[in-house]
Chain A
Amino acid sequence: MSDNLIEVKNLQTHFFTNEGVIKAIDGVDFNIPRGKTLCVVGESGCGKSVTARSILQIVDPPGRIVGGDILFHPTPDREINLAQLNPRGAEIRDIRGKDITMIFQEPMTALSPLYTIGNQIIEAVRWHLPLTKQEARERAIEALGVVGIPRPHELIDAYTFELSGGMRQRAMIAMALVCEPKLLIADEPTTALDVTTQANILDLIANLQRDMGMSVMFITHDLGVVAEVAHEVAVMYLGTIVEYGPVETIFSDPKHPYTRALLRSIPHLNPRRKTRLAAIRGMVPHPLNRPGGCSFHTRCNYAVAGVCDSFVPPWTPIDRTRFVRCFLYDSEHPIKSQVIETPPDTSGDLTRETAQNRQPLLDVHDLKMHFPITSGFFNRVVGHVKAVDGVSFTIHEGETLGLVGESGCGKTTLGHAIMRLYTPTAGEVHYYGDKPADLAKLNNRELKLYHREIRMIFQDPHSSLNPRLPVLEIVGEALKVNGLAQGRELETRVRDLLAKVGLRPEYIRRYPHAFSGGERQRIGIARALAPNPRLVVADEPVSALDVSVQAQILNLLKDLQTEFGLTYLFISHDLNVVSHISDRVAVMYVGKIVELAPTQTLFERPRHPYTEALLSAVLKPDPSLRRSSQRIHLEGDVADPANPPPGCAFHPRCRYAKDLCRIETPALRPIGDGQLAACHFADELALAGAHIPEHITP
């Protein structure tokens, strides 16, 4: 008899590689209660996915389960040990797809583009249930309807590439649910989606879970998602679970130092206090270099020499529902930690004077960036993608302007156009440096001078560093080609720059492959700073990084801003990050800025319905706020910038839309307090802001 659908006991999954045995999962214990959601949370490389795959016995070679039990109870009195089944045998295959199903992060690659979604769903049905083709098809259509796919009768015959990202993930979910499984394993199912779509999918999974009474194992790196969907939480670090318990207590009273640190390192949606983030030092080591003893001791503030680095902490119960793997709570030999928890560093309160009092540094006026769509042998132009379509804003000296929007809204193109990586179709980009100029009109030679003062940080720390060049040449290139430094002097300056961004100066001769993602991003920042710029365009600089590293980089950017008086244009899709770093925020939708305001104003009193919807979709890392505000569901997809709807581009998804919105395009206009909004009814609508807690718990 068991209340748990799954009980995992001392699970070990190892990868036998040429370099050595990687203990991806090394002694994991957890339960998945019947009809509840378990969230497994941790940074990349901690073994979350491998745990999930071990349950279904689909770990790719050279990995395999080497020990432990996975007890599966299809009914309370039956027990099957999944860990002991033959991975290719009929028994496990009967369970896969029927009792336990799985969905993945990227439905575009997880579904085959060569078959219709219907084909791939019906296949699963027919394999497990004694249904005819027609019955199976009807069942598939029903499932597609349940997951909210419009016109399921037609779309069952669609191919994956004909659907949007959100629809694809819905189809994937339909495929997983069609046989009414007892357990759904969801491996980062919303990570690749925009916030608004993510909110819809999370709600869908939660509703289905409740209605169908199934269990869900939800894998994510995002604590906001955890707070939103979990009943139970397992926190993973380097192949072990360090803490396990009900979601409320994990968030309100985290025990393990790693859980505490994680919770404190995420930027909260809190535009009022500009505190430094409490970053975890260092990075997750590679599993081959797993530190001995407690694997977290190298990054832990509580670690006690001679204990934590020598012995593996036992799996200690705190109470009936909670377990932790840390010597602090060991019932037999609890350690007395010398380090008291360092209070959050609030010394550098970075909220500064309002932007209005400062000099404008960059003035963008009616900027347009259209890309021709060509077709046929002669490259006939058949249309234009209006990626940026009439954008105007000003950045003041020393401020950070955040630019947010969902993917495809044109924010990256805007950044590139300002940098003149593209030649704008129309508009002006006035830069008020030592020699004011309209950057949009300059030729390449004239731009060279300005490219010293305006620099860029790229999103992908891997593709932005040339793998063939050593750090010295990467960071020093701008100094060298502009004749600012040479030889010894160049080397000294690059060493200084490395020290500034927190890297050891002796790394100067190393090549990019020797660095981790976070370190590479630091190199990218050093490169941007090399010629002493005034303005830095940062294009999603932290979105490719883990939470703990993200906090380090955000802190670094803030410190550098203070030290050098930099001005930032900070592009991001993550409202939490933007609210943390920006003085003012601009919201983009289909090539246009729809709202621009000081951060606090924008988050507390949004004046555009799109901003309101975005804010409502942001997940707060606090389970007590779950569904406290009724979330706004945006219907449909982001409009196609090649063929935007007439009038206000947002009107098809706007719940306040009136006739005027379908005809007339609203202009971005001031509505007081330095706030601008592009909505006909900005003055009339009473829109809800983000719920900002007075006190953040951990």
Chain B
Amino acid sequence: MAQYIIKRFLYMIPTVIAISIVSFIIINLPPGDFVDRLVVERQQSGEVITEEEEEGFREIYGLDKPLPIQYVDWISDVVLRGEFGYSFRWNRPVEELIWQRLLLTFFLSLSTLAFIWAVAIPIGVYSAVRKYSLGDYFVTFLGFIGLATPSFLIALVLLYISFKYFGQSVGGLFSPEYVDAPWSIDKFLDLLSHLWIPIVILGTAGTAGLIRTLRANLLDELRRPYVTTARTKGLPEYWLLIKYPLRHALNPFVSSLNDVFVGLVSGETIVAIVLSLQTTGPLLLDALRTQDMYLAGSFILLLSLLAVIGTLFSDLLLAWLDPRIRFP
């Protein structure tokens, strides 16, 4: 097992490096750099910036060096000093802007994951065991709708309903009085009271997908010979259902955990924008639109890293659950 964990960690390294390179490439994709933008902005406000001044800016921000060196500068600051660069737009170091939002994203994604599992497993089991029952058809139908509706559409519909019938907005993660308040128990409780809406919105597609997967897996597993064996041992149905087919069906479930998690981190971006949550999404979009490269790059880097860690976690969990992986 220890060997497996070490191996798994080593496999992660090239992925992380590749992710950092991709993040950096994305940052540099748009034509022109920050200084060009700055010049345009200053010009619009009537200021004139000479070419020398422009070069000066480039030198300060290190934008005059070749790209690979810019990359090395950037990544070594990130790794060695935890400095992600400077947000030109907010005039603050990136790390001051991102951590809280990243934490909220992480918290939201994780809660949603828990929500998905809590809802999908019992329903999936019911659906498989009572195959072709009315309940199964109903769940299957809802599942299809859930899969077919983009999460931002659900968010918009919910916005509309709450506005139309309850006369209030459901956006945001905090009540206005807590937005800028320091962290406290009350603020946390306030967060929880707001959190369920994005969780439900974000979790719908995942839940629908997982119910379908679990149902299909379980139907497969229910036909396996080891279920018959368990039955010949005289075990009651509910016991053998949980111990054998459900337990077996959970393995592909766990290995899909990562995909679901990545999907959540990814889907969170867009739902957060609609619901104006104080998570990474809105800031990332804004950063990309304004070519605030270090901020955008840091977000993509860290979100991807979050996904990689999720993969690691689900792989380790799977190895712990499935002896066939644990034993080489």
Contact = CB atoms under 8 A, between A and B. Distances in A.
Direct contact of A and B (CB under 8 A): yes
Interface of A: 53, 56, 58, 60, 88, 90, 93-98, 101-102, 104, 106, 109-114, 123-124, 127-128, 159, 161-162, 172, 175, 377
Given A112-B248, A113-B323, A97 B223 contact: no
Interface in B293-328: 321-324, 327
A161 B231 CA distance: 22
Interface stretch (B27-35, B109-117, B122-130, B232-240): B232-240
A74 to B, nearest CB: 14
B226 interface: yes
B233 A127 contact: yes
Contacts of A110: 225-226, 228-229
7 contacts: A56-B232, A95-B234, A97-B235, A109-B225, A112-B244, A113-B323, A123-B243
B58 interface: no
A127 B235 contact: yes
Given A88-B237, A110-B226, A114-B248, A159 B232 contact: no
A114 B233 contact: no
Contacts of A172: 229
A110 B322 CA distance: 17
A98 B232 contact: no
B191 to A, nearest CB: 39
Given A60-B223, A114-B247, A93 B234 contact: yes
B92 interface: no
B315 to A, nearest CB: 16
Interface string B207-234: 0000000000000000111101111111
Instruction: Return the 3 tightest CB-CB contacts between A and B, nearest first.
Output: A97-B234, A96-B234, A97-B233
B231 A96 contact: yes
Contact of B324 (A106, A161, A377): A161
Contacts of A93: 234-236
A111 B233 CA distance: 12
A175 B226 CA distance: 13
Contacts of A88: 237
B234 A124 contact: yes
Chain B CB within 10 Å, residue with most, of A56, A104, A110, A114: A114
Nearest to A128: B234
Interface in B233-272: 233-237, 243-244, 247-248, 251
B247 to A, nearest CB: 6
Given A96-B233, A159-B323, 14 more contacts: A88-B237, A93-B235, A98-B234, A101-B233, A109-B224, A110-B229, A111-B226, A112-B226, A112-B244, A114-B321, A123-B233, A161-B323, A161-B324, A172-B229
Nearest to A121: B233
Contacts of A111: 226, 229
Nearest to B326: A159
A118 to B, nearest CB: 13
A53 B231 CA distance: 11
A93 B234 CA distance: 4
A111 B237 CA distance: 17
B225 A127 contact: no
A668 B79 CA distance: 65
Q: In the complex, which of the residues B231, B232, B323 has the most CB atoms of chain A within 10 Å of its own CB atom?
A: B232
A110 B235 CA distance: 15
A254 to B, nearest CB: 33
Contacts of A123: 233, 235, 243
A114 B235 contact: no
Given A114-B323, A159-B323, A104 B229 contact: yes
A110 B226 CA distance: 4
A97 B236 CA distance: 12
Contacts of B248: 112, 114
Contacts of B229: 102, 104, 110-111, 172
A180 B29 CA distance: 74
Contacts of A104: 225, 228-229
B233 A58 contact: no
Contacts of A112: 226, 230, 244, 248
A127 B247 CA distance: 19
Contact of B327 (A94, A95, A159): A159
A606 to B, nearest CB: 38
A112 B243 CA distance: 10
A127 B234 contact: yes
A148 to B, nearest CB: 21
A409 to B, nearest CB: 26
Contacts of B244: 112
Contacts of A114: 247-248, 251, 321-324
A380 to B, nearest CB: 14
Interface in B107-157: none
A326 B228 CA distance: 35
Given A109-B226, A114-B247, A114-B322, A162 B234 contact: no
A162 B324 CA distance: 9
B277 to A, nearest CB: 40
Contacts of B231: 56, 58, 96
A101 B228 CA distance: 11
A58 B231 CA distance: 7
A597 B121 CA distance: 63
A99 to B, nearest CB: 9
Nearest to B321: A114
A538 B311 CA distance: 48
B325 to A, nearest CB: 11
A94 B324 contact: no
B4 to A, nearest CB: 13
A113 B232 contact: no
Contacts of B11: 377
Contacts of B228: 53, 58, 60, 104, 110
Nearest to A105: B225
A128 B234 CA distance: 8
B247 A97 contact: no
A665 B321 CA distance: 44
Contacts of A102: 229, 232
Nearest to B14: A377
A102 B223 CA distance: 17
Contacts of B324: 113-114, 159, 161
A397 to B, nearest CB: 48
Nearest to B131: A61
Contacts of A58: 228, 231-232
A60 B251 CA distance: 24
A548 B324 CA distance: 40
Given A111-B229, A114-B247, A159-B323, A94 B234 contact: yes
Contacts of A124: 233-234
A180 to B, nearest CB: 14
Counting chain B CB atoms within 10 Å of each CB, the highest count among A94, A112, A159 belongs to A112
A94 B225 CA distance: 20
A123 B324 CA distance: 21
A56 B226 CA distance: 15
Contacts of B234: 93-98, 124, 127-128
Nearest to A159: B323
Contacts of B235: 93, 97, 123, 127
Nearest to B245: A112
A112 B237 CA distance: 16
B225 A106 contact: yes
A94 B233 CA distance: 9
Contacts of A94: 234
Contacts of A98: 234
B23 to A, nearest CB: 23
Contacts of B224: 109
B243 to A, nearest CB: 8
Nearest to B248: A114
Nearest to A57: B231
Nearest to B7: A376
B232 A96 contact: yes
Contacts of A127: 233-235
A389 B129 CA distance: 52
A369 to B, nearest CB: 26
